[in-house]
Amino acid sequence: MEGWGRYPHHESEAIDCRLPEALAGTVAACVGLIGRGNGRSYGDAAIGEYSTLMCRGLSRIRSFDPTNATLTVEGGVMLSDILRSFVPRGYFPPVVPGTKFVTVGGMIASDVHGKNHHRDGGFGDHVSELKLVVAGGEILTCSRTRNPELFFATVGGMGMTGIIAEATFRLRPIESGWIAQKTIVTKNLGEALKALQQTEDATYSVAWIDCLLQGASLGRSLIFAGEHASLDEVGGMPEADRFAAKNEGRFSLPFDLPQWVLNKTSVAAFNELYFRAGARKAAKTSLVHWDKYFFPLDGILEWNRLYGRRGFLQHQCVVPAEDALAVLSGILERFARSGKGSFLAVLKKLGRGSGLLSFPAPGYTLALDLPVTQEVFRLLDEIDEQVVKAGGRLYLAKDARQSRHTFEAGYPRLAAFKELRKITGADRHFNSRLAKRLGI
């Protein structure tokens, strides 16, 4: 079994669960168990120490109340299903990550953040209630007022408190399925951070960095600010097009690319083209389909095969705003010098996280992906040190390799989390490979 990055690979018994009634019994009968949704966490978070509970079959929407746009779903419901059913009816999820092929249970366990984290917080901030199957099989209802400790440990808790059977959250009303996008071009990292600061009033904002450039152009970026387009903005459109659907997954990569395909030249060429295409749109507002704005990579199904059979590592850190320029410049410079190409370098501003182990913290987050090679491990260890020295941390949903030391230094509320695991018996029951590796 492996995560989306295809590294690392571990043996774990897959246990299928299709009926909610069967959850309690199945959970009670296992140890070393972790829940798994659609397997989109990159590393070893959704690989059980001994057994892995496959939750995709728990995929039914329980209820939708249009008076307050409240949705209750089983944990295995996919975000793509919610979008498919509710965008045409004028609703959008409160927070979406960079792929729609994730389950609601996974979104809560990772407390995923979106391009609106600076304004709206993480997905967990919008969950009003959840049903959690805890060690021994008991099903507990958790919210900010009922079992609040368990609630805040489960949000961002990477499945280590139990199995998320059901969750309730509100959708946001939208007037169209289009995003009014403004593109800002910046020459370097300093400008990019400033621009992200300035676009803070926008609902959505994110920067794409050309991460191969060095010197004065280090951190050259395109910043995409977005709003849900209002009825006025899509006024000329026929009604059917206002919520037009897109075909899910246009191509699928049918085989693993050999590792030499992604080299400095090919990535640099891609980045240059991407940058120029984006820069042409600068200064004017354009309408972009929600699917393309939020999930550009979902257009290529199985894009993880880009990196070949050895897989890839995603590195995502957050650092406080004060030191962000120095630390992030250091990281980008290190990568640029090493020549380890990355298609994806994404920068965005984050606000406060709500769960005990939630990743977001006020500051800036940088995400990069890198093919698995021996040098990359050394390089990342070095970078992790810089991150925690600056008071930052790494995202557990993407982690496959950080050390206990950097993890413990980055998550100050870890002791409270461990304590809660002990009290509820979760520490003996729910254990992923990630939990074992980091000693949680």
- Sign of the C-alpha dihedral computed for residues 402, 405, 411 and 416 taken in this order: positive
Rounded CA-CA distance 156/252 in Å is 31
Residue 62 C-beta: closest distance to other proteins, Å: 6
> What's the rounded Cα separation, in Å, for the pair 350 and 113?
8
Looking at the Cβ atoms of 90 and 137, the one nearer to other proteins is 90
What character string, x for contact with other proteins (CB under 8 A) and - otherwise, covers 79-118? Answer: --x---x---x-----------------------------
Query: Per CB under 8 A, which of residues 18..57 are in contact with other proteins?
Result: 18-21
- The nearest distance, CB 61 to other proteins, in angstroms, is 4
Q: Where are the alpha helices (DSSP H) in 37-176?
A: 79-86, 104-109, 117-120, 148-154
* Count of other CB atoms within 10 angstroms of residue 64: 16
Q: Quickly list DSSP for 82-122.
A: HHHHHTTTTEE-S---S-S--BHHHHHHTT---TTHHHH--
- The span from the CA of 48 to the CA of 34, in Å, is 5
- H or E, element range at 274: helix 264-280
Contact set for other proteins, span 347-406 (CB under 8 A): none
The distance of closest approach from Cβ of residue 13 to other proteins in the complex, given in angstroms and rounded to an integer, is: 14
Closest to other proteins by CB, 74 vs 111, is 74
Residue closer to other proteins (CB basis): 54 or 400: 54
In the list 11, 63, 145, 260, the residue contacting other proteins (rule: CB under 8 A) is 63
Nearest distance from residue 83's CB to other proteins, in Å?
Answer: 11
Cα angle value 11/16/17 (rounded, 5°): 140
> Do residues 311 and 5 touch, judged by C-beta distance below 8 A?
yes
> Based on the number of CB atoms within 10 Å of its own CB, is 259 exposed (0-12), middle (13-18) or buried (19 or more)?
middle
Stretch that binds other proteins, among 13-21, 28-36, 281-289, 344-352 (CB under 8 A): 13-21
- Our CB check for other proteins shows the closer of 16 and 201 to be 16
Tokens of 161: 């408190």
> Rounded to an integer, what distance in angstroms lies between the CA atom of residue 427 and that of residue 152?
16
Shortest spacing between CB 295 and other proteins, in angstroms: 20
**Does residue number 128 form part of the binding site for other proteins (CB under 8 A)?**
no
Shortest Å distance, C-beta 56 to other proteins: 12
Q: How many residues sit close enough to other proteins to count as binding (CB under 8 A)?
A: 14
User: For residues 86 and 359, which CB has a smaller minimum distance to other proteins in the complex?
Assistant: 86
Can you tell me which of 15, 24, 62, 306 binds other proteins, judged by CB under 8 A? 62
CB 122 within 8 A of CB 353: yes
Choose the stretch contacting other proteins; rule: CB under 8 A; options: 15-23, 142-150, 240-248, 349-357: 15-23
Which CB, 60 or 250, lies closer to other proteins?
A: 60
Cα–Cα distance for residue pair 144/121, rounded to 1 Å: 16
Q: Taking CB under 8 A as the rule, which mask of x and - marks residues 164-193 in contact with other proteins? A: ------------------------------
| Residue ranges in contact with other proteins by CB under 8 A | 16, 18-21, 60-64, 71, 81, 85, 89
